[in-house]
Amino acid sequence: MANAQEDALHYPLGAALPEPGTTLEVASGVRWLRMGLPFALDHINLWLLRDVQGGVEGWTVVDCGVANADTRARWEQVFATELQGLPVLRVLCTHMHPDHIGLAQWLCERWSTPAHECRLWISGSDWNAARIASTSPGFGGEAAARFFARHGLTDPDALDKVRARSNYYASLVPVVPSAYRRLMDGMTLSVNGRPWRCIVGYGHAPEHMSFYSADTKLLISGDMVLPRISTNVSVIDIEPEGNPLPLYLASTAALKVLPADTLVLPSHGKPFSGLHARIDQLHAHHDERFADVLGACAAAPCSAAELLQVLFKRTLDLHQTMFAMGEAIAHVHALAEDGRLAALPLQAGVQRFRTVA
């Protein structure tokens, strides 16, 4: 069922989706493919850009999918039927989350030759974060369990499951390339002679890169702007005092300098136009969530875990609960930094917040 807000958006390809192992052309030299994900959010969109590098014709890949046998098999189908006999020349990753970088090492190895190194291109912050996360506990484990317990997640079974996910990131990103090409905000990439500008975004990942082609009014938005769901913006245990939500809101507001009729190629959902309207919707969504949190904390001091039922009107599985906890903490941190909430002294090791009169 369509989201009511989608009436403000336009989907130029209608209901069309690329079949597994195939691609759809969304613009000249730009092809769309989808890979499955083992989560409630069951797909990621990836992009193939027709390219020439060093006089060699081929393709630039944007984002990779997670490292599992099914995704590798789907890529092999794409290689066999969709590349017109041409090689993959480089791999661009918008950011370090597993569905975006998981198979970067495999793709780069698969397409590197003595004559041409297939290189990973990514921001420096996200390459470093991915390297650390793939070789050490993160996004789960004892530290995450302690962090969530401090914010009110006290269910023993849930905490045991969080502890058991100590190798979660590495299971989806077993290896990150040991060398990379650094992407930076404002950098211009030449793709088949066409300029694409790198646009940094903060809040969702350390240094997320979107790619904009002014010639064709195309924006590969990664996870910064999605058409049907709001981007996850979380505080996590390795940066426990983080305040990412204002960074995300500022980053998306900055995208409104792009033309309103830009065709957005998101990482989840279908390509759409209506960028300005969607950014307004996302900001309104967070304003509503801020109001909900303030209302709840005015009635009684709340922990982030106690706010889950206020912020999320559905049953959450463990994977969703971890993201939801991160989002709830992000909302209370933003309001506390803004002076609208105050943190109370810990009670039984749990952090709660009250509304400031």
What is the rounded average pLDDT of the residues 118-135? 96
Residue 60, both tokens: 């630039």
pLDDT at 138: 58
- Give residues with Cβ within 8 angstroms of 295, minimum separation 6: none
Residue 254, both tokens: 């900055």
Structure-model confidence comparison of residues 168 and 123, the more confident one: 123
What is the rounded average pLDDT of the residues 288-314? 96
Q: Which residues of 189-222 are buried (b: 16+ CB within 10 A; e: fewer)?
A: bebbebebbbbbbbbbbbbbbbbbbeebbbbbbb
Cβ-based neighbour number of residue 13 at 10 Å: 15
The DSSP annotation for 242-285 comes to --HHHHHHHHHHHGGGS-TTPEEEESSS--EE-HHHHHHHHHHH
Query: What digits encode the pLDDT tens for the residues 246-289?
Result: 999 999 999 999 999 999 999 999 999 999 999 999 999 999 99
Mean pLDDT over each residue of the chain, to the nearest integer:
95
Dist CA 38 CA 329 (whole Å)? 25
pLDDT at 137: 65
Long-range contacts of 211-215 (CB under 8 A, 24+ apart): 211/62, 211/92, 211/94, 212/258, 212/262
Confidence of residue 167 (pLDDT cuts 50, 70, 90): confident
Dist CA 187 CA 74 (whole Å)? 31
What is the rounded average pLDDT of the residues 2-14? 84
Dist CA 333 CA 176 (whole Å)? 31
Examine the pLDDT at 191 and tell me if it is beyond 70. yes
Contact 203, 244 (CB under 8 A): yes
What is the rounded average pLDDT of the residues 168-174? 93
Examine the pLDDT at 31 and tell me if it is beyond 80. yes
Query: What digits encode the pLDDT tens for the residues 306-315?
Result: 999 999 988 8
pLDDT at 313: 84
pLDDT at 318: 83
Confidence of residue 316 (pLDDT cuts 50, 70, 90): confident
pLDDT at 3: 62
**Which domains does the chain possess?**
4-299 (3.60.15.10)
- Give residues with Cβ within 8 angstroms of 340, minimum separation 6: 290, 294, 355, 356
Examine the pLDDT at 2 and tell me if it is beyond 60. no
Examine the pLDDT at 139 and tell me if it is beyond 80. no
How many H helices and E strands in the chain?
A: 11, 15
pLDDT at 1: 38
Identify the CA nearest to 354 among candidates 340, 183, 31.
Answer: 340
pLDDT at 6: 77
